[in-house]
Chain A
């Protein structure tokens, strides 16, 4: 499998086993980008994430505000850009185009969340944001690259059912 596109992934665990053992190795990714203000502002967290990235991979950790379309142009199609939440992905909507692969991998279960898969639990607000993005782009919901993605034919049905 070769996606051949820059991947945007929503994962509240950011870089962890699924990303390193799954996506990076399977797709031979070369570059990882973390868009997270909390990590970017914390030297210890930056060190932790830098230490776990495989040697064949680069890692950039950026504040969300420093991530612009200009930065995107410099990236190869062996790149995964990780954000922590659906909200963070939604905030990038002016940058996203159909040229990118959008993956929702891990969004933890909390109160008032609807179980979509064993790793993706969404609240109504997140469903609304993804519904809006889905009007323009494919959203691939799966934790690992070789899995069959979950088809949600109609997000709005979830809204009606749970709203």
Chain B
């Protein structure tokens, strides 16, 4: 099963995982990494290196909060490995989808596609929906 790392600023990742688990239950093969204000990024890269080793045989999807932010920049440095994919702009529907289908997909790239499409489709202006 493909491993998932949620890598965000502050405690966003922790809370997203807690909330997703409220909805779909406890998850395996998931790690949370966080970039705090004033924290050193080199320590974080060391932890990412060891997690990448851990998921070497399963494939790894890294979900980050914002393209252009430092969590995303760090994650993108692992894209030279074909067994790693990164999706930015993580939200709750994305995480739930990724957890739900990761047993059934063959590669992190395929999982990334599903996660990204689900996240985009989940953003709805509710008032416009009701006017239809």
Q: How far is the CA of A136 from the CA of B74 in the complex (A)?
A: 36
Known contacts A17-B70, A52-B67, A44 near B41 by CB under 8 Å: no
For window 97-111 of A, CB contacts with B under 8 Å fall at: 106, 108-110
Query: CB-nearest residue of chain B relative to A19?
Result: B68
Known contacts A16-B68, A17-B68, A20-B68, A48 near B40 by CB under 8 Å: no
Contacts of A120 in B (CB 8 A): 38
Q: How far is the CA of A77 from the CA of B76 in the complex (A)?
A: 31
Annotate B4-16 by CB proximity to A: 1 below 8 A, 0 otherwise.
0000010000000
Contact A118 B38 (CB under 8 A): yes
A-B contact count (CB 8 A): 48
Asked whether A12 is an interface residue with its Cβ less than 8 Å from the other chain, the reply is yes
Asked whether B46 is an interface residue with its Cβ less than 8 Å from the other chain, the reply is no
Known contacts A44-B77, A48-B76, A52-B73, A109 near B68 by CB under 8 Å: no
Question: Binding site of B, secondary structure by majority: helix, strand, loop or mixed?
Answer: loop
Q: Which of A16, A44, A45, A108 contacts B40 (CB 8 A)?
A: A108
Q: How far is the CA of A16 from the CA of B67 in the complex (A)?
A: 9
Known contacts A44-B77, A44-B79, A45-B77, A16 near B69 by CB under 8 Å: yes
Asked whether B66 is an interface residue with its Cβ less than 8 Å from the other chain, the reply is yes
Q: Which of B40, B69, B79 contacts A17 (CB 8 A)?
A: B69
Of A15, A48, A120, the most chain B CB neighbours within 10 A belong to: A48
Contacts of A109 in B (CB 8 A): 38-40
Contact B68 A108 (CB under 8 A): no
Contacts of A49 in B (CB 8 A): 73
For window 75-119 of A, CB contacts with B under 8 Å fall at: 106, 108-110, 115, 118-119
- Shortest Cβ gap from B77 to chain A (Å): 6
- Shortest Cβ gap from B67 to chain A (Å): 7
Contact A118 B40 (CB under 8 A): no
Annotate A2-27 by CB proximity to B: 1 below 8 A, 0 otherwise.
00000000001101110011000000
Contacts of A137 in B (CB 8 A): none
Known contacts A16-B68, A17-B66, A108 near B41 by CB under 8 Å: yes
Query: CB-nearest residue of chain B relative to A43?
Result: B80
Known contacts A48-B76, A48-B77, A13 near B70 by CB under 8 Å: yes
Contacts of A121 in B (CB 8 A): 38
Contacts of A110 in B (CB 8 A): 40
Query: CB-nearest residue of chain A relative to B80?
Result: A44
Binding site for B on A (CB under 8 A): 12-13, 15-17, 20-21, 44-45, 48-49, 51-52, 106, 108-110, 115, 118-121
Binding site for A on B (CB under 8 A): 9, 37-41, 66-70, 72-73, 76-77, 79-80
- 4 closest Cβ pairs, A-B complex: A108-B40, A52-B68, A16-B70, A17-B69
